[in-house]
Chain A
């Protein structure tokens, strides 16, 4: 079992503009309504001229990353990053593909460079000035577990803190019937080598290959949200973090695989 600490959290989803708000939902008794509005995305670490060139997908990643960075209260330069998203920015892909069907095929150069899967990682490093290594990945619906596993490997093998950013945006109407993302959801976690004192929670993590019982959310609204975006498969972990109690959660990975997490407060 790999061991690490969780030192900071960022969150953004419908009705949940940040982690403190999310915590109160997860630990309270009020029923969550997945129909709530998505908070405005204003990741102000990005200069205004760069922010104008970005998209909702990129802003969602940067917003939760920024919240986790602020919460961590240390230098971005020290944070390696793992950006995990089921898809690249399909809104941008849709715009490019529509352009390809117009006379003269007027593809926008900005759209094109924003279409890469690592666009959010690129803007993050520009905004923070961080030269730290960064990986952008996908494992489709298992993207959260894949991102967490990769981040955990980096913490353990590179011996440095890692910022994991998992985020998904629903695709535009044309692609919606074909894609599993039904709700925006972004979460960011700063994972640290276990020895680091800034960690609030200790976490042990292992990849398991049997069909264990996967954790779901008790609240019906949160369970809808959990199923509405690959990044939201993190919700059982977030619920445990919100309550700062010891416990075990099992999150879905690829078919036949799961991540078993053991949490205990520092």
Chain B
């Protein structure tokens, strides 16, 4: 038995806009969502992928305790693409306790704690009494919020493995469904701009002062972005639906914040995803890269790609569109993979002018319209956490 999980519904908000259609248009037209960093209180010479209007979202009143930038962005995404209706239908079909919630984030609602630290009592040093750690900053907050918002009572957890978080949740969901613990799952992830990540990546000298340009000979770092995306997974029932065909997970065992120079762990994850999908490298039509635009990441990923695919499969990073959305990057790029398949489109590596001579994989420099049936998408994180997913038509 080799049943597949299909993606029955999906929704996405990033710097490119609200809803999947806005993302398709931007990918097709080559429009970037990046802008000069204008996040309040940040004084860094960099570009960011900021979602317009997150500040204006009003959290549903019964969940007001959960109010923070991360949950606001989550709520904004849940409201797009008829996602709530699709979940309600699934809930009616399976029962609300039979739908799991598996979400990824790297920093959750830490921005709320940043605000509380800036608002400490001058004499005692105490944090303000309005601060609510459990519902905002704690890692589980976004899954707890989403579960309540959607009225679900199945199993739930947050996976937090830095920038691979919301790719890995697809694997968690498949295991839970196979084990019979739930009949459907909400997967996805949310990460939002905050001072900790902007200044943290700056301290590691990994942020670029320019719009990020993956695989370019002059690339010099990332632009941090924010995004929220969700997908509804259930057992395949429609012939023409896009399915999770395979996944691979591995650890670098090399360094906390630098990738293995030969991409060893990355190659293991890619091979494992091919094995689990029972596919050959030549069965893949397009690879959506992790492609952060740091010198080390893109080189390391290319070594792994050449090892597994020998330069035979077109690939591109979409970080030039959205910035690096960290814990949300996995779901953003899984949904981009679905767009590539549904719309027969291979998005360009935006902002890449001249590919680094040391990079040998075929980087797509202008958007192509061509049949796409199966896509691999890569997500790699700090701590050497690697995940590769293969999405596509089952037959």
Is B382 within 8 A of A122, CB to CB?
yes
Q: How far is the CA of A51 from the CA of B49 in the complex (A)?
A: 36
Contact with B along A141-177 (1 / 0, CB 8 A): 0010010011011101110000000000000001101
Is A135 within 8 A of B161, CB to CB?
yes
Q: Given A109-B203, A119-B383, A178-B131 in contact, is the A87-B252 Cβ separation under 8 Å?
A: no
Chain B interface, number of residues (Cβ within 8 angstroms): 62
Asked whether B50 is an interface residue with its Cβ less than 8 Å from the other chain, the reply is no
**Which of B114, B160, B176 touches A137 (beta carbons < 8 Å)?**
B160
Residues of the A chain whose Cβ atoms lie less than 8 Å from the Cβ of B11:
none
Asked whether A63 is an interface residue with its Cβ less than 8 Å from the other chain, the reply is no
Residue of A nearest to B268 (CB): A131
**Which of B97, B113, B382 touches A93 (beta carbons < 8 Å)?**
B113
Q: How far is the CA of A99 from the CA of B114 in the complex (A)?
A: 11
Asked whether A134 is an interface residue with its Cβ less than 8 Å from the other chain, the reply is yes
Can you list 15 A-B pairs with a CB-CB distance of less than 8 A? A100-B118, A107-B202, A115-B196, A116-B162, A116-B382, A118-B161, A122-B251, A122-B256, A129-B253, A131-B264, A138-B158, A146-B155, A174-B120, A178-B132, A209-B153
Asked whether B64 is an interface residue with its Cβ less than 8 Å from the other chain, the reply is no
Contact with B along A242-266 (1 / 0, CB 8 A): 0000000000011011000000000
Asked whether A7 is an interface residue with its Cβ less than 8 Å from the other chain, the reply is no
Is A207 within 8 A of B200, CB to CB?
no
Residue of A nearest to B113 (CB): A97
Asked whether B257 is an interface residue with its Cβ less than 8 Å from the other chain, the reply is yes
Asked whether B51 is an interface residue with its Cβ less than 8 Å from the other chain, the reply is no
Q: What would 11 more interface pairs be, CB under 8 Å, given A112-B201, A125-B253, A140-B144?
A: A88-B160, A96-B196, A101-B117, A109-B200, A116-B160, A121-B251, A131-B251, A138-B140, A143-B140, A146-B155, A150-B157
Is A130 within 8 A of B203, CB to CB?
no
Q: How far is the CA of A55 from the CA of B157 in the complex (A)?
A: 25
Is A153 within 8 A of B181, CB to CB?
yes
Q: How far is the CA of A113 from the CA of B254 in the complex (A)?
A: 14
A2, A139, A149, most chain B CB atoms within 10 A: A139
Residue of B nearest to A129 (CB): B253
Residue of A nearest to B140 (CB): A140
Asked whether A24 is an interface residue with its Cβ less than 8 Å from the other chain, the reply is no
Q: Given A96-B200, A157-B179 in contact, is the A128-B382 Cβ separation under 8 Å?
A: no
Residue of A nearest to B199 (CB): A107
Q: How far is the CA of A254 from the CA of B158 in the complex (A)?
A: 13
Q: Given A116-B106, A138-B160 in contact, is the A131-B383 Cβ separation under 8 Å?
A: no
